[in-house]
Amino acid sequence: MFSLRSINNQMITNSPASLNIIRRNLAQITSIHAIPTLKTQPTTKQHSIEEGNKRKQLLERPGLFAIKQGMITWFTSKGEQLPATVLEINSCEVINHKTEIEHGYDANIIGTIDKLKNYPRLHELKMFEEAGVSPKYKFGEFRVRDSSNLLPLGTELKADYFAVGQLVDIKGITKGKGFAGVMKRWNFKGGRATHGVSKAHRTPGAMGGNQNPGRVLPGKKMPGRMGTSNMTDFNKEVLHVDGNAGILILKGCIPGPNKGIVRVSDALKLYGKSLNQLARE
């Protein structure tokens, strides 16, 4: 600790370099009320799998696969006539799990339609053997909120997994229409039928400017292959379920051709919640 007399003596006897050292030491004396260090938390990566799972809308239970069998006319008890779609639930069973520790998220892997002969992927037979189920023609994963929503291996999901009156979401692949023009694919008006139009009645017309921009912009609506794209129909009402017969009837139409496989799950807009939303509640 420096005294005033010692500092004055050093200022008289020492060189200018020594005076700078003394002044620097005096400046380093900190107040008892000052905070010398502050430990901050490391920043989180918002694009990581963990943070993405917290923001993602997830359901409490998985869905299942169904086979579209066609459309019928459904009559209610009040005599109302409704268009409806018949779905078949065929041997939907839980064959595997994906856990957050190993894959970053929790999911149930559901399989449907037994394939007992000529299974093409022999390395997957061990997965079916461990689950105690037959090899499946089609299987896929259904993500859930946490590990408590993972169903036991071998659990069979029937049509009565859903209740009459509840809303479900349908995910499927739309019918393929082949190569289509702009009038069929994008509902363009087309050219005139007469009055000077020669062999250009269904053409798209001008596609780009001459000098500005001088090119066709990306995303321009043009002729191309139509259909065979993923589509989701939200909030379809369940009209009838029969667990023993494996029949599920929904109100309205759904994407995909007859005999096509679709994914049926609880309505995400109604029952889905994110982990961040649950934490705030």
- Give 5-26 pLDDT, tens digit per residue: 554 554 445 556 665 655 555 5
Domain holding 260, by residue range, is 66-89+158-189+226-281
Cα dihedral angle (231, 235, 239, 241), rounded to 10 degrees? 70
With respect to residue 59, please indicate whether it lies within any of the assigned structural domains. Answer: no
244 or 52, higher pLDDT: 244
At 244 the pLDDT is 92
- The Cα diameter of the chain in Å comes to 113
pLDDT digits (tens, 9 = 90+) for 135-180: 999 999 999 998 999 999 999 999 999 999 999 999 999 999 999 9
Under DSSP, the state recorded for 167 is: E
Residue 35 lies in a domain: no
- Among the three residues 114, 140, 156, which one is the final residue of a domain in this structure? 156
Regarding whether 148 and 255 lie in a shared domain, the answer is: no
Residue 54, pLDDT score = 86
Q: What single string gives the DSSP state of each residue in 22-88? A: HHHHHHTPPPTTS----PPPPPP-TTSHHHHHHHS-BBSS--EEEEEEEEEEEE-TT--EEEEEEEE
Could you tell me if residue 42 is inside a domain?
no
Same domain flag for 164 and 144: no
Residue 272: give its domain's CATH number. Answer: 2.40.30.10
Q: Do both 257 and 243 map to the same domain?
A: yes
Write out pLDDT tens, residues 30-62.
Answer: 666 767 777 888 777 778 877 888 888 999 999
Cβ atoms of residues 225 and 187 within 8 Å: no
pLDDT attached to residue 1: 45
In the predicted structure, residue 27 carries a pLDDT above the cut 90: no
Residue 53 lies in a domain: no
Categorise residue 188: left if φ over 0, alpha if ψ from -120 to 50, beta otherwise.
beta
* pLDDT tens digits for range 185-238: 999 999 998 888 998 999 998 888 888 888 999 999 999 999 999 999 999 999
Same domain, 136 and 255: no
- 231 & 170 share domain: yes
Are 212 and 130 in contact, with CB atoms under 8 Å apart?
A: no
Domain match, 148 and 176 both? no
**Structural domains counted in the chain:** 2
CATH code, domain with 152: 3.30.160.810
pTM here is 0.77
- Asked if the model's pLDDT at residue 4 lies above 50, the reply is no
pLDDT for res 30: 63
